[in-house]
């Protein structure tokens, strides 16, 4: 098979990888309630048609139930997340739940796996060394805590993307006007993906960090359907705004916890902090509003064009 044909097959798999297994071609007698039916699950008691006498496959399922991994394969979901992130997340928020492993569970199992491997391989020792340095602010303590809890730090990073994504991709061709709960779900999947990248990156001694940016771009392109430049500037603006929001949180934490130690000049410092805070908030709001307005204009233009066609 030549490269083009292979790539086209890959693309069509990316768009829709599903081939539903039809166990249901013949009649089944339910092993649980002895009802006879056609289908994958018993309509009376809900037991799967696959269940029967215990064989190697059902033993595997019984063992994996400990992790809640029995029905939907987490590895398959991760595989999809790696090769078709945007399409998969898009299907999930559109309601195709059965094929995907639940995102929060996936994130926490990944975090557990990450922690165990780091512990066993002794890779978290450098962190221990850094921790012995003196902590002088609440913020330092917070950053240390984030470093020790990669799942939470990925979550807080990606959650800062919810609002910018919501504003900037509001009028996108696909998933038009996505809601905030959908936005949060998107970022839950991104957290898992970033954690996976962080994990691989540990073994590649840091030179894979660019993958985080690439994956955001690829995911947003597949998910929202803008073309190259449309996706690129929006994704980069999302990063910038998310960075800005982190600075705002930094200023807030500093304002609340760290001002007391300064003494006489505390009043001036508070005013300066508040001023910085207000300016940053206005700047942030401006970016989001302008971004959304541009999206709206291109959306109108696009729908006018499709009307005249
Ligand atoms: Zn039954």
Distance of CA 30 from the midpoint of ligand 1 (Å): 5
Distance of CA 41 from the midpoint of ligand 1 (Å): 8
Task: Give the C-alpha separation, 219 to 88, whole Å.
Answer: 9
Residue 29 covered by a domain: no
Please give the average pLDDT of every successive group of 10 residues along the chain, which has 309 residues: 84 77 71 88 87 83 70 80 92 83 87 86 60 60 76 85 92 89 93 90 81 92 92 94 86 72 67 86 91 88 74
Residue 186 covered by a domain: yes
What pLDDT is stored for residue 257 in this prediction? 72
What pLDDT is stored for residue 100 in this prediction? 81
Distance of CA 117 from the midpoint of ligand 1 (Å): 41
Residue 7 covered by a domain: no
What pLDDT is stored for residue 256 in this prediction? 74
Distance of CA 73 from the midpoint of ligand 1 (Å): 24
Distance of CA 20 from the midpoint of ligand 1 (Å): 21
Q: Do both 173 and 52 map to the same domain? A: no
Q: Do both 50 and 163 map to the same domain? A: no
What pLDDT is stored for residue 139 in this prediction? 67
Q: Do both 84 and 198 map to the same domain? A: yes
For residue 147, the enclosing domain spans: 73-308
Distance of CA 42 from the midpoint of ligand 1 (Å): 5
What pLDDT is stored for residue 21 in this prediction? 57
Q: Do both 90 and 45 map to the same domain? A: no
Residue 290 covered by a domain: yes
Each residue of 83-131: pLDDT tens digit?
999 999 998 998 887 778 888 888 888 888 888 888 888 766 555 545 5
Distance of CA 26 from the midpoint of ligand 1 (Å): 16
Q: Do both 63 and 77 map to the same domain? A: no
Q: Do both 198 and 85 map to the same domain? A: yes
Residue 39 covered by a domain: yes
What pLDDT is stored for residue 165 in this prediction? 94
Residue 28 covered by a domain: no
Distance of CA 264 from the midpoint of ligand 1 (Å): 76
What does residue 22 show for φ and ψ, rounded to 5 degrees? Answer: -100, 85
Q: Which two tokens stand for residue 258?
A: 């760290």
Distance of CA 32 from the midpoint of ligand 1 (Å): 5
Q: Do both 193 and 249 map to the same domain? A: yes
Distance of CA 49 from the midpoint of ligand 1 (Å): 9
Distance of CA 75 from the midpoint of ligand 1 (Å): 29
What pLDDT is stored for residue 261 in this prediction? 57
Domain total in the chain:
2
Distance of CA 47 from the midpoint of ligand 1 (Å): 6
Distance of CA 36 from the midpoint of ligand 1 (Å): 8
Task: Give the C-alpha separation, 47 to 29, whole Å.
Answer: 11
Residues within 5 A (CB) of ion ligand 1: 30, 32-33, 35, 42, 44-45, 47
Task: Give the C-alpha separation, 278 to 308, whole Å.
Answer: 45
Distance of CA 166 from the midpoint of ligand 1 (Å): 44
Q: Do both 155 and 282 map to the same domain? A: yes
Radius of gyration of the chain (CA): 24
Distance of CA 163 from the midpoint of ligand 1 (Å): 46
Residue 52 covered by a domain: yes
Domain boundary among 20, 43, 71: 71
Domain boundary among 50, 71, 92: 71
What pLDDT is stored for residue 214 in this prediction? 92
What pLDDT is stored for residue 82 in this prediction? 92
Task: Give the C-alpha separation, 158 to 242, whole Å.
Answer: 8
Q: Do both 135 and 47 map to the same domain? A: no
Q: Following DSSP, what letter does each residue of the chain receive, concatenated?
A: --HHHHHHHHHHHHH-------GGGS-EE-TTT--EESSSB-TTT--BTT-SS--HHHHHHHHHGGGT-SSS-HHHHHHHHHHSHHHHHHHHHHT--TTS--HHHHHHHHHHHHHHHHHHHTTTHHHHHHHTSPP-SHHHHHHHHHHH-HHHHHHHHHHTTHHHHHHHTTT-SSSTT--HHHHHHHHHHHHHHHHHHHHHHHHTTTTTTHHHHHHHHHHHHHHH---HHHHHHHHHHHHHHHHHHHHHHHHHHHHHHSSGGGGGGHHHHHHHHHHHHHHHHHHHHHHHHHHHHHHHHHHHHHHHHHHH-
Distance of CA 138 from the midpoint of ligand 1 (Å): 57
Q: Do both 174 and 92 map to the same domain? A: yes
């Amino acid at each position: 098979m030549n490269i083009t044909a292979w790539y086209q097959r890959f693309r069509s798999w990316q768009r829709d990888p599903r081939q539903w297994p039809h166990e249901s071609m013949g009649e089944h007698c339910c092993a649980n309630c002895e009802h006879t039916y056609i289908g994958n699950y018993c309509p009376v008691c809900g037991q799967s048609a696959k269940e029967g006498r215990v064989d190697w496959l059902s033993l595997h399922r019984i063992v994996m139930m400990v992790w809640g991994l029995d029905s939907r394969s987490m590895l398959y979901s991760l595989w999809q997340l790696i090769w078709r992130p945007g399409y998969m997340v898009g299907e999930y928020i559109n309601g195709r739940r059965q094929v995907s492993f639940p995102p929060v569970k996936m994130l926490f199992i990944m975090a557990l796996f990450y922690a165990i491997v780091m512990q066993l391989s002794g890779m978290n020792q450098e962190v221990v060394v850094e921790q012995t340095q003196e902590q002088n602010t609440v913020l330092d303590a917070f950053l240390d805590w984030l470093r020790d809890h990669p799942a939470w730090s990925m979550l807080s990073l990606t959650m800062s993307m919810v609002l910018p994504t919501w504003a900037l991709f509001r009028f996108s061709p696909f998933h038009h006007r996505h809601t905030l709960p959908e936005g949060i779900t998107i970022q839950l999947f991104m957290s898992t993906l970033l954690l996976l990248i962080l994990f691989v990156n540990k073994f590649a001694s840091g030179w894979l960090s660019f993958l985080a940016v690439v994956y955001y771009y690829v995911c947003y392109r597949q998910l929202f359907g803008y073309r190259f430049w449309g996706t690129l500037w929006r994704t980069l603006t999302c990063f910038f705004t998310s960075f800005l929001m982190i600075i705002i949180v930094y200023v807030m934490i500093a304002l609340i916890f760290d001002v007391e130690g300064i003494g006489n000049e505390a009043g001036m410092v508070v005013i300066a902090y508040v001023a910085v805070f207000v300016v940053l908030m206005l700047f942030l709001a401006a970016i989001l509003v302008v971004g959304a307005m541009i999206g709206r204009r291109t959306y109108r233009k696009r729908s006018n064009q499709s009307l005249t066609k």
